[in-house]
């Protein structure tokens, strides 16, 4: 999980990108002493994520702002609900608006997509996991959004786990190294980490079983082959399905008996959720 320092670094980069040279429009037309209250409103149903990120962004721009996060990360919002209220200098609110909305829109998109897959496999003994297919610079926040929505996090970086993938095997095969030998080589230096290997067919699976890895990833396998794989693999080895997983087929994949289903689309292709920031006239709504 991301540390506070890592989260703030990501927010700092976003603020510098948008506000690094100032906000010419706001500085020219909005009086510095003008106050107000604005709400960030969900314009469609969603699983919300990023409220705390938005709060930190607002506070970095102006520590005098008063912010209330109405809907915690991982909870559902209805269309029209205010997920966050911010009171204070109008100029500060306007300067932070786009950064706060960008984080909320994207992270809520990831959380909403994750929750849809989690709901599809409800009642089955399987976990929905993310991958490293993330937007550059946003991986830690995206993985947090997956976790908040009930998903499971795969390794956050290349140093956090051992996965022997197809290109590793191709390179090793050119030197005459077999799949069991590759697993043994990884195990020798694993220092307590689990060893996972990716296979693309049942022939590779048979070789992988001989090497006794901790996890075998079934990459882009047909449902019928997944069913055969589950019967072939001993209980001591976990099975992960990955590649080509959609909302339409995820239930069928889960029903094969695999332990984990990893889905790159929940991060790299998540549709942004529509939020808007609106200033409130009169008394702010009660959450």
Cα 21 to Cα 16, 78, 90: the distances in Å are 8, 36, 19
89 is catalytic: no
Whether 198 has a binding-site annotation, put simply, is yes
Whether 278 has a binding-site annotation, put simply, is no
Alpha carbons 49 and 36: distance in angstroms, whole number: 25
98 is catalytic: yes
198 is catalytic: yes
> How many residues are recorded in the chain?
287
CB 126 within 8 A of CB 241: no
- Tokens 């089955």 belong to 124
- Give the 3-state secondary structure of residue 46: strand
Whether 244 has a binding-site annotation, put simply, is yes
CA 261 to chain centre: 14
Alpha carbons 258 and 128: distance in angstroms, whole number: 11
Radius of gyration of the chain (CA): 23
Whether 181 has a binding-site annotation, put simply, is no
Out of 76, 133, 187, 228, the active site residue is 133
Out of 81, 219, 240, 259, the active site residue is 219
Out of 23, 130, 198, 259, the active site residue is 198
Which residues, in sequence order, are bridge partners of residue 62? none
Whether 132 has a binding-site annotation, put simply, is yes
Q: In what order do the strands lie in the sheet with 82-89?
A: 66-69, 82-89, 35-42, 275-279
Whether 264 has a binding-site annotation, put simply, is yes
Whether 133 has a binding-site annotation, put simply, is yes
Give Cβ neighbours of residue 280 (< 8 Å, ≥ 6 apart). 36, 37, 38, 39
Burial class (CB in 10 A: 0-12, 13-18, 19+), 91: buried
Out of 27, 165, 203, 271, the active site residue is 165
Whether 242 has a binding-site annotation, put simply, is yes
User: How is residue 157 annotated by DSSP?
Assistant: S
44 is catalytic: no
Whether 131 has a binding-site annotation, put simply, is yes
Out of 43, 55, 76, 98, the active site residue is 98
Whether 98 has a binding-site annotation, put simply, is yes
165 is catalytic: yes
Whether 77 has a binding-site annotation, put simply, is no
Residue list for the binding site for substrate: 98, 131-133, 155, 165, 198, 219, 242-244, 263-265
Active-site positions? 98, 133, 165, 198, 219
Residue list for the binding site: 98, 131-133, 155, 165, 198, 219, 242-244, 263-265
């Amino acid at each position: 999980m991301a540390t506070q320092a890592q989260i703030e670094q990501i927010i700092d980069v976003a603020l510098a990108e948008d506000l690094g040279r100032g906000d010419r429009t706001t500085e020219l037309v909005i009086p510095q002493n003008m106050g107000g209250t604005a709400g960030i409103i969900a314009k469609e149903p969603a699983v919300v994520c990023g409220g705390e990120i938005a709060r930190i962004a607002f506070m970095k721009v102006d520590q005098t702002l008063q912010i209330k996060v109405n809907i915690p990360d991982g909870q559902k919002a209805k269309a029209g609900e205010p997920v966050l209220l911010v009171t204070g200098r109008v100029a500060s609110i306007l300067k932070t608006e786009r950064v706060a909305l960008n984080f909320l829109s994207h992270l809520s998109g990831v959380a909403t997509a994750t929750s849809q897959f989690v709901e599809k496999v409800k009642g089955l003994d399987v976990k929905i996991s993310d991958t490293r297919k993330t937007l550059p610079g946003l991986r830690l926040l995206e993985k947090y959004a997956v976790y908040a929505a009930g998903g499971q996090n795969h390794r956050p970086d290349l140093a956090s786990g051992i996965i022997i993938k197809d290109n590793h095997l191709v390179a090793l095969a050119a030197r005459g190294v077999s799949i069991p030998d590759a697993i043994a080589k990884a195990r020798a230096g694993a220092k307590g980490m689990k060893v996972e290997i990716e296979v693309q067919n049942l022939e590779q699976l048979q070789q992988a079983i001989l090497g006794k890895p901790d996890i075998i990833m079934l990459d882009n396998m047909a449902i019928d082959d997944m069913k055969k794989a589950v019967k072939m693999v001993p209980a001591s080895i976990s099975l992960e399905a990955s590649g080509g997983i959609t909302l339409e087929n995820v239930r069928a994949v889960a029903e094969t008996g695999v332990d984990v289903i990893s889905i790159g689309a929940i991060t790299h292709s998540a549709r942004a959720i529509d939020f808007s920031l609106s200033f409130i006239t009169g008394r702010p709504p009660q959450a």
